[in-house]
């Protein structure tokens, strides 16, 4: 008797379901699900819908699902003109009902993974998503986590939640990790053309994940395991965090010695090998660089290893808003004014240029520090119309409002700002981004 003839009927059906999944992916008949429709999930949903798949977006926010179903994008990198046709053609729709998972063939989890105040990972969003998926999952499914997390999450946390009795990973269902690498506002590199790293719990999982992404994205990079894939994202952002920390420390040194740090970096960058320029700033912001390295630090401490570079860089970067506040105070003192009672106008509150995201933005820390020193705070940001700071609601003012301020602080160098006009009309400018490079004026104080 052949071996396959002795297999239980249920096992044959599950093996057939796995083969059917591969066929569905290749023919783009697979029903794709995206859990979490934020800056990662919505662009991913759009790419798979563009590739011809039927895509269901799932999000606990009914406000988001309503906007998606109306073809109304709330993600800067996805214009309405790109989203609306996919929705109206029936290729993409959204729901807050997780029972939709029962009709899906693949599920990508793109939910937030913040840090707690104690700098340890908050896995509650991943756990909640997995609990819902486990209720409705079936043999022949591919499940991929994209949320940034610590090495071991996929196999130590997710796999036990999904591995039901009689279902074997790599045979009856497939589980992978693929780190999101989205850079909001980047006009050159977006979801479709950023190489996609993927690692599975088994070689079969990795291959299924590779096959899936290859249908919609330009390049897929398979790696040996979920742990390797999880570590990739942490290395990428730890590399940036530490090098920005070095640039910030050099800026502190140069400030004490009266040296122009921007000229130093530009000159060093002329070396054609062995040097990569990183630039100082008012602090780190966003969803990745200020947070991701601490996932690695937390995990390595469990293994008895101290992540000293990460902790030191985190400390230096965390001090930069205080340094900026001191810069503003000293600049006002030199002009014969005190911070207390002065009107300070902040240019740009998003965490980086030309986006609307204020998560972890150093501008918020700078504004709060100056407010606590007695300053009256206003701001201009064409991408952030309103802001709540320390319980106070602020509204973005036109750039012209900066002329009435005692000091203007450039925190985020949006391209929409008219910098020559700003220098002409402002009484005093503290530039933390070198936005006024090449402009010579006694009004300007640089980081």
The domain that contains 121 carries what CATH number?
3.40.50.720
Domain end (from 173, 195, 224): 224
249 and 168 housed in the same domain: no
Q: What is the pTM of this model?
A: 0.88
Selected catalytic residue, list 110, 176, 201, 288: 288
Mean pLDDT of the 340-369 span? 94
Residue 288 annotated among the catalytic residues of the structure: yes
* Structural domain that includes position 23: 3-224
Q: Are residues 30 and 120 in the same domain?
A: yes
As a whole number, mean pLDDT of residues 341-355 equals: 95
One domain, residues 65 and 196: yes
Split into its structural domains, the chain has a count of 2
In whole angstroms, what is the distance from residue 202 CA to residue 213 CA?
A: 17
- Claim to verify: residue 217 and residue 249 sit in the same structural domain: no
Cα gap 81→105, rounded to integer Å: 28
Pairing state between β 376-380 and 106-109:
unpaired
Q: Are residues 148 and 271 in the same domain?
A: no
Choose one of 224, 259, 293: the last residue of a domain.
224
SS3 409: strand
**231 belongs to a structural domain:** no
Range with lowest mean pLDDT among 229-243, 291-305, 416-430: 291-305
Q: Are residues 247 and 371 in the same domain?
A: yes
Look at residue 157 in the predicted model and tell me its pLDDT.
95
What is the structure's pLDDT at 109? Answer: 98
Report if residue 232 sits inside a domain: no
Q: Where are the alpha helices (DSSP H) in 28-79?
A: 41-50, 62-69
Residue 154 shares a structural domain with residue 16: yes
- 93, 235, 380, 422, 429 from 436: Cα distances, Å: 45, 33, 17, 10, 10
**pLDDT tier at 129 (50, 70, 90 boundaries)?**
very high
- % residues pLDDT > 90 (the chain): 79
User: Looking at the structure, do residues 69 and 128 belong to the same domain, yes or no?
Assistant: yes
């Amino acid at each position: 008797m052949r071996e396959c003839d002795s297999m239980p009927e249920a096992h044959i059906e599950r093996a057939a379901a796995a083969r059917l999944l591969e066929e569905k992916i290749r023919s783009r008949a697979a029903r794709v699900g995206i859990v979490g429709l934020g800056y990662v999930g919505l662009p991913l949903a759009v790419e798979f819908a563009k590739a011809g798949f039927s895509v269901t977006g799932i999000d606990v926010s009914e406000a988001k699902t309503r906007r998606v179903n109306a073809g109304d994008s709330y993600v800067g990198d996805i214009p309405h003109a790109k989203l609306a046709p996919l929705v109206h053609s029936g290729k993409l729709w959204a729901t807050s009902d997780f029972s939709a998972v029962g009709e899906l063939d693949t599920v990508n989890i793109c939910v937030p993974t913040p840090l707690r105040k104690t700098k340890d990972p908050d896995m509650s969003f991943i756990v909640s998503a997995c609990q819902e998926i486990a209720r409705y999952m079936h043999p022949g499914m591919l499940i991929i986590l994209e949320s940034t997390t610590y090495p071991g999450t996929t196999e130590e946390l997710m796999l036990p939640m999904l591995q039901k009795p009689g279902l074997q990973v790599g045979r009856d269902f497939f589980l992978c990790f693929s780190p999101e690498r989205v850079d909001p506002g980047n006009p050159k590199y977006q979801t479709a053309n950023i190489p996609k790293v993927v690692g599975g719990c088994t070689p079969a999982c990795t291959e299924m994940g590779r096959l899936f992404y290859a249908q919609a994205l330009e390049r897929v990079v398979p790696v040996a395991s979920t742990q390797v894939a999880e570590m990739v994202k942490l290395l990428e952002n730890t590399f940036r965090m530490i090098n920005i920390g070095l640039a910030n420390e050099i800026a502190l040194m140069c400030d004490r010695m009266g040296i122009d740090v921007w000229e130093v970096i530009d000159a060093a960058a002329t070396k054609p090998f062995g040097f990569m320029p990183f630039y100082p700033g008012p602090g780190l912001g966003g969803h990745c660089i200020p947070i991701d390295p601490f996932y690695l630090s937390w995990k390595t401490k469990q293994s008895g290893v101290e992540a000293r570079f990460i902790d030191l860089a985190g400390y230096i970067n965390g001090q930069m808003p205080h340094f900026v506040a001191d810069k503003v105070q000293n600049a006002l003192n030199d002009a014969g004014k005190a911070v207390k009672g002065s009107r300070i106008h902040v240019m740009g509150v998003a965490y980086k240029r030309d986006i609307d995201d204020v998560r972890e933005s150093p501008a918020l820390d700078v504004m709060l520090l100056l407010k606590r020193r007695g300053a009256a705070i206003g701001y201009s940001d064409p991408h952030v119309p309103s802001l709540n700071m320390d319980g106070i609601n602020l509204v973005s003012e036109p750039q012209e409002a900066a002329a009435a301020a005692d000091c203007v602080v450039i925190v985020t160098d949006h391209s929409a700002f008219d910098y020559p006009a700003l220098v002409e009309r402002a009484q005093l400018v503290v530039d933390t981004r070198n936005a006024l490079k090449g402009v010579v004026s006694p009004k300007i104080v640089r980081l």
